[in-house]
Amino acid sequence: MIFHSTIVFFFTFAAIKYFNLFNCMKQIISLLVIAFAISSAIAQEDFSKRKMSLPSVDLKTLNGKTFNTQDMDNNEKPIIICFFATWCKPCMTELKAISDVYDDWQDETGVKIYAISIDDSRSSAKVSPLVKGQNWDYEFLLDENSDFKRAMNVNDIPHTFVLNKNKEIVWQHTSYSPGAEQEYINIVRKLIAEPNK
Amino acid sequence: MKKKFILLGLFISCGTLLIAQNNFMKNSRVSGNFQLDAQYYIPDAAMGANTIRDKIRANAFANINYTNGGFSAGLRYEFYQFPLIDFEKIHYIGHGIPHYYIGYNHEYFEVTVGSFYEQFGNGLIYRSYENRNLGYDNATYGIRVKGKPYKGIVITGIWGMQRNLFVKEGQIRGIDGDISFSEMFSKLSDNSVTLGIGGSFLSKFEVDNDPDYNLPENVAAFATRLNFGYKDFNLNAEYAYKFNDPLVKLNDMIYKPGEALVVTASYAMKGLGIYLTGLRTDNMDFRTVRTAEANNNIINYIPTLTREHTYALPAMFPYASQAQGQIGFQAQVNYQIKKRSKIGGKYGTDIMVNYSQIHGIKQNPVEEAVNAGGDMTGTDGYTSPFFGIGKLLFQDFNIEISRKFNSTWKLGLGYVFLLYNQDVIEGHIGQPNVLSHTAIADLTCQINNKHALRLELQHLYSKQNKGIWSSRNWLYGQLEYSISPKWFISVLDRWNYGNIDKTKRIHYYSVSGSFVYGTTKITLSFGKQYEGILCVGGVCRAVPASYGAGLSIVSSF
């Protein structure tokens, strides 16, 4: 797979370079994206049902280490990903609400939560003291330049994803209202009850 | 003809590859998102909402991304031809496909051609960034290569042009190296030590056509940074230096080099977090075009070291980073009174105290010309001692306490003191500093698993005016009812009851309702908006002053 994408990539890049095509690169890329989209759709009958797996993006842990999103793991148990920022009030309300029930959730389902901060360098250093001060036990990761946010097509935060045991996205939701966390855990329970879904 | 031929070639090759390889297809994914914000404007002279001849305006964009393992390609279509009035104000007008890229991400390297977003360190010398809701997008067009030759080492090179609104301008090239010793040597991380260093260099080019000045055509900047952590303690520092770079509107064409220093220390353990940060910037505006102003052509990012307030009234006085000169610090303590303790209650009580203070830098004028070439025009402008403190620009003390009493009731209380130098921050020349005291109460009643009611009350006390539309005291009330996870209804009123001009004691009321289904959110609203940050149904974004009805659709797939 890597081999083929490498060929495609280098072929494209070589063509662009060789024919000095920087000027019409926009058109080429547009056509390529559309072509890929159409060919994917044709090749796969169950395209609409296909589950998306995680893109590969480098994030930072709270103590500054690089962490690739594909290394998110929970031993074949469901994962919840919450996008948040320290300046986003509903996000903080959501994380706070989940923290009150997180122990129970983990005992019952073994679910693991990755909380992704999109704080930029104005406030990213604040994330660690803030979340530890609140006693929150999630796996925190920093997405300082919103690369993961873009790759996951998140418009506004809070935005929440539920992943199955194969780390495929099976459910997602934007915004937060008090009590919405019940919906998250219900999805997780369903995933555990029907492991092949 | 030649172009068409190449395109055809590309198609056939890619197509063959795709169809021939079922394996390849299996991993291919298409995803994207979409947003539409439309507004119907009603003129209202009493609140300063002007008549808009084409009454319906909208902002819209859609992203499509294709990924296949490490390979990715994508584009964004933007339609801002008849944009919302605040976007029109910043000249964010146009349509087309300004964002497009192809990339490949491998274990040891990463290449992107097209437009991309990247930052070096804290962004002091380079950050390309987007915030769609603010109309801010300074993506770099060109090529980015990342090498990861060894665990813990990342080298990034960028070269290209810069997006400014809907055009491509300037020329920038840069390189950044990042070394994480704690990733390289497991001995360090085994002893709970994190240690990393980094360095970056960026240079811009702009032709000198000036008849009077002898201007540098290539301007370079560099930065170095350090990250050190031991157990619960963390220290992060970055220093940046910019060579002589006269700018027409932002530094009065002076030749003085610029510099910036940011130091952050934090200590965090269960239930307690302490954060302290200091910042000094001096002549650090960095633009691809010398005549740039406002938010245009920005190459770097100077973080603002103040808290970003989420409550509406204190958010009316936000500090804007003064890249040309500022010195200040911010401190914050987060503490949780233990769960199941006498004082803390069953769920614990959270306390946050935050303080920040920012001054201008001291400047001693320099008269003699420094530029030997041409007509001897141009000076260094001023000298500034490193710890020389100038005028007070901003001061913020705030405290927040929140507590959940039982499964039904939750209460948050807050107090904010702000000192706001509108002369410097907003350019209201000669106007006095605004001093304000705000009290906040935020009460949530969780009726049952699905139904919840939230009441927010704020009162701002001040003796000064900020322009004519904000004067003295304000009162704010908001009631939000939600049926989780699909429905939100919100009613709010923001009232400048203390305005010295009685005709401007306006009720900025707003009624809105949202429906959320999975990743799609539809919001309808009606009312008067005072400019600032609006949070409805759990999402926050910046909104301009206006009167009318709004429709917003946000979706991703």
Give ipTM to 2 decimals: 0.85
CA separation for the pair B49, B66 (Å, rounded)? 43
Write the DSSP symbol of residue A187.
H
Name every residue whose Cβ is closer than 8 Å to that of residue B343 and which is 6 or more positions away in sequence. Answer: B337, B349
pLDDT at B449: 86
pLDDT over 80 at B283, yes or no: yes
Shortest CA gap A181–chain B (Å): 9
Residue of A21, A28, A100, A121 to mutate when probing chain B, most B C-beta within 10 A: A121
Residue of B21, B66, B353 to mutate when probing chain A, most A C-beta within 10 A: B66
Q: Centre a 10 Å sphere on the Cβ of residue B404 and count the other Cβ atoms it contains.
A: 22
Query: Pick from B46, B50, B49, B40: which is nearest to B84 by CA?
Result: B40
pLDDT over 70 at B294, yes or no: yes
Nearest to B272 among A43, A88, A133 (CB): A133
CB pair distance less than 8 Å for A156 and B539: yes
pLDDT over 50 at B539, yes or no: no
**B chain contacts of residue A11, beta-carbon cutoff 8 Å:** 10, 13-14
pLDDT tier for residue B317 given thresholds of 50, 70 and 90 = confident
Token representation of residue B477: 């009330």
Nearest to B75 among A33, A129, A182 (CB): A33
**Tens-place pLDDT, residues B488-518:** 999 999 999 998 988 889 999 999 999 998 8
pLDDT over 50 at A3, yes or no: no
pLDDT tier for residue A48 given thresholds of 50, 70 and 90 = very low
Residue of A2, A3, A5 to mutate when probing chain B, most B C-beta within 10 A: A5
Are B344 and B352 in contact by the 8 Å Cβ rule? The answer is: no
Q: Centre a 10 Å sphere on the Cβ of residue B107 and count the other Cβ atoms it contains.
A: 10
pLDDT over 50 at A47, yes or no: no
Query: Pick from B82, B76, B88, B91: which is nearest to B38 by CA?
Result: B82
**DSSP β-bridge partners for residue B162:** B140, B169
* Token pair 């920087």 in the structure block, residue: A22
pLDDT at B480: 93
First-residue to last-residue Cα distance in chain A: 25
pLDDT at B257: 93
Summary mean pLDDT of chain B: 88
**Tens-place pLDDT, residues B426-453:** 778 888 999 999 999 999 999 988 899 9
* Burial degree of A194 (CB within 10 A; 0-12, 13-18, 19+): exposed
Q: Residue B411 is which amino acid?
A: L
pLDDT tier for residue A45 given thresholds of 50, 70 and 90 = very low
**Tens-place pLDDT, residues B162-190:** 999 999 999 999 999 999 998 888 888 78
pLDDT at B15: 56
Are B327 and B389 in contact by the 8 Å Cβ rule? The answer is: yes
pLDDT over 60 at B4, yes or no: no
Query: Pick from A93, A176, A83: which is nearest to A134 by CA?
Result: A93
Domains of chain A: 2-49 (no CATH), 52-193 (3.40.30.10)
Shortest CA gap A197–chain B (Å): 18
Give Dmax (Cα) for chain A.
61
Name every residue whose Cβ is closer than 8 Å to that of residue B405 and which is 6 or more positions away in sequence. Answer: B345, B347, B411
- Give yes or no for B294 touching A (CB within 8 A): no
**DSSP β-bridge partners for residue B71:** B68, B104
